[in-house]
Chain A
Amino acid sequence: MKSFVDLTAGDMNSRFSVNVMGIFDGMKYQLGEMLKSRSGSILNVSSCAGIGAAPKLAAYSASKHAVVGLTKTAAAEYAKYSSGVNAICPFFTLTPMVEDGDAGKIQDFLANSTPMKRLGTTAEIATAASMLCAPANSYLTGQCVAVDGGVSVL
């Protein structure tokens, strides 16, 4: 975690290299295959930080907002050739990255800030993700769905 004014171009580039360019390249080549087969779907992982503010996480938040932009734009451009391009936007989830990182030190505070008073598990996020990209879910596209224990409704 870093204050906005302490962020460097290197911090931004490093975050965008993984969170944005990694997803951009994956989508680009996957969409190419979907154009050939006229089928398929994409599910990206954004974040609550991609649909709202995330103090001390400006680089992360900006990168996840970019994922939302890529998701919605690809959904609009390729709606005819896919059965959905969507994203999930989880709140802090009980993953090794969160538990071992800075957020792990304020885990109780984060949990108490949610209406459900707890953080989500990876199983809960995976369940939501699979629902969104399930073949039967064929008329949902361009949506970035918060999976956040109710944080986004506050």
Chain B
Amino acid sequence: MEKDMGQFEGLAVFITGAARGIGAELSRHLAAQGAKLLLADRNQTRLDQLVDDLSKVAPHVKGVRCDVTSEQDVRAAV
């Protein structure tokens, strides 16, 4: 992934369902544009993998395990 400073430089972005599909692609896209990402997913393994990958090229990427069917999880993550 090439770093492409964009409109999201320094902005905090929270993405649910981040570890797969559209969520993962959007995470890569915004990481490349300098966003500070908090990535949430219920699958800890896939989430850890994505955070590891993105952390190699983006300094501000964190993951939080979050099952969106749990209000408690969502509240804690936000």
Specify which chain B residues have a CB less than 8 angstroms from the CB of A29 in the assembled complex.
Answer: 74-75, 78
**A90 to B17 CA separation, bound complex (whole angstroms):** 16
| Min distance, Cβ B9 to any Cβ of chain A, angstroms | 10
Task: Confirm or deny: A57 has a beta carbon within 8 angstroms of a beta carbon on chain B.
Answer: no
Known: A127-B29, A129-B26, A130-B8. A22 touches B69 (CB 8 A): yes
Contact B7 A97 (CB under 8 A): no
Please, which residues of chain A bring their CB within 8 A of the CB of B29? 123, 126-127, 129-130
A29-B75, A130-B33 as given contacts; A45 in contact with B69, CB under 8 Å: no
CB within 8 Å of B: which A93-149 residues: 93, 95-97, 122-123, 125-127, 129-130, 134-136
**Other-chain contact of A93, B7, B22, B71 (Cβ < 8 Å):** B22
A30 within 8 A of B: yes
Bits for B27-71, please: 1 = Cβ < 8 Å to A, else 0: 011100100000000000000000000000000000000001101
| Assembly CA distance A97 to B19 (angstroms) | 12
Which chain B residues border A33 with CB–CB below 8 Å?
78
Contact yes or no, B20 A95, CB < 8 A: yes
| CA gap between A32 and B78 in the complex, in Å | 10
B residues in contact (CB < 8 Å) with A: 7-8, 11, 14, 16-17, 20-22, 24-26, 28-30, 33, 68-69, 71, 74-75, 78
Task: Show 26 residue pairs from A and B whose CB-CB distance is below 8 angstroms, ordered by the A residue.
Answer: A18-B69, A21-B68, A21-B71, A22-B74, A25-B74, A25-B75, A26-B74, A30-B14, A32-B78, A45-B17, A95-B20, A95-B21, A95-B22, A122-B22, A122-B24, A125-B22, A126-B28, A126-B29, A129-B26, A129-B29, A130-B8, A130-B26, A130-B33, A134-B7, A135-B7, A135-B8
Q: Which 9 A-B residue pairings sit nearest by Cβ, starting from the closest?
A: A22-B68, A95-B21, A122-B25, A29-B78, A126-B25, A25-B74, A126-B26, A126-B29, A134-B7
